[in-house]
């Protein structure tokens, strides 16, 4: 007989305004080997993990600096943040887990493997062109904002001093 039990508790709720403009899927085989002095079976532990991850790239709109001029019917974008990795979700499968007689995996080791695999995926995402491609989508964001602002009878103005300011075209 098998029994399972769990309790889920909501810890914290944060209000955010984020816009995801790209999602990228990653798949990785992560190899780990550790040995005590000599690399042969009784002293070695090793693992092969498959990591599947999804990175969401976009803009944290809470970092946008806006100025509202009701008398002119304008909303001015003063500062726009660069694209960033907004979230990184990952699933981990252990393909091969081998322990030596004198060197075995602790719970801490397995937790560290999980964290290291996630860091590796994050590094690969940051080294890729995803953030640049996210920034390239900023024009789409400006066009969407412009459409919404015009729908309310206002004008969207992109300040020349904004960090990222592609034309609305």
Examine the pLDDT at 102 and tell me if it is beyond 80: no
Domain boundaries, the chain: 18-158
Q: What is the model's pLDDT at position 7?
A: 87
pLDDT band for position 104 (50/70/90)?
Answer: confident
**Residue tagged 């996210």 (tokens):** 134
Per DSSP, helices labelled H in 29-155 are 107-127, 130-136, 138-151
pLDDT band for position 32 (50/70/90)?
Answer: confident
- Indicate the range of 27-31, 66-70, 83-87, 125-129 predicted with least confidence: 27-31
Examine the pLDDT at 35 and tell me if it is beyond 90: no
Q: What is the model's pLDDT at position 162?
A: 66
pLDDT band for position 44 (50/70/90)?
Answer: confident
Q: What is the model's pLDDT at position 95?
A: 77
The residue with greater pLDDT, 101 or 47, is 47
Strands (DSSP E) contained in the chain are 18-35, 44-60, 65-69, 74-79, 84-98, 155-158
Q: What is the model's pLDDT at position 161?
A: 66
User: What is this structure's pTM?
Assistant: 0.75
CA distances from 155 to 21, 84, 103, 116, 129 (A): 24, 27, 67, 47, 33
CA distances from 82 to 34, 97, 137, 165, 169 (A): 39, 40, 11, 11, 20
34-59 average pLDDT score: 81
pLDDT band for position 118 (50/70/90)?
Answer: confident
Examine the pLDDT at 85 and tell me if it is beyond 70: yes
pLDDT band for position 39 (50/70/90)?
Answer: low
97-125 average pLDDT score: 82
């Amino acid at each position: 007989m098998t029994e399972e039990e769990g309790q889920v508790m909501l810890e914290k709720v944060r209000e955010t305004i984020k816009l995801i403009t790209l999602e990228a899927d990653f798949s990785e085989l992560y190899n780990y080997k550790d040995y005590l002095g000599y690399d042969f079976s009784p002293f070695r532990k090793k693992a092969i993990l498959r990591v599947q991850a999804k990175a969401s790239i976009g803009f944290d709109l809470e970092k946008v600096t806006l100025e509202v001029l009701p008398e002119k019917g304008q909303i001015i974008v003063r500062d726009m943040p660069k694209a960033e990795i907004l979230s990184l979700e990952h699933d981990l499968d252990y393909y091969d887990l081998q322990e030596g007689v004198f060197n075995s995996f602790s719970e801490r080791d397995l937790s560290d493997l999980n964290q290291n695999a996630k860091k590796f995926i994050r590094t690969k995402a940051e080294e890729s062109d995803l953030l640049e491609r996210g920034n390239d989508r900023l024009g789409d964001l400006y066009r969407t904002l412009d459409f919404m602002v015009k729908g309310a009878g206002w004008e969207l103005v992109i300040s020349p001093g904004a960090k990222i300011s592609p034309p609305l075209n």
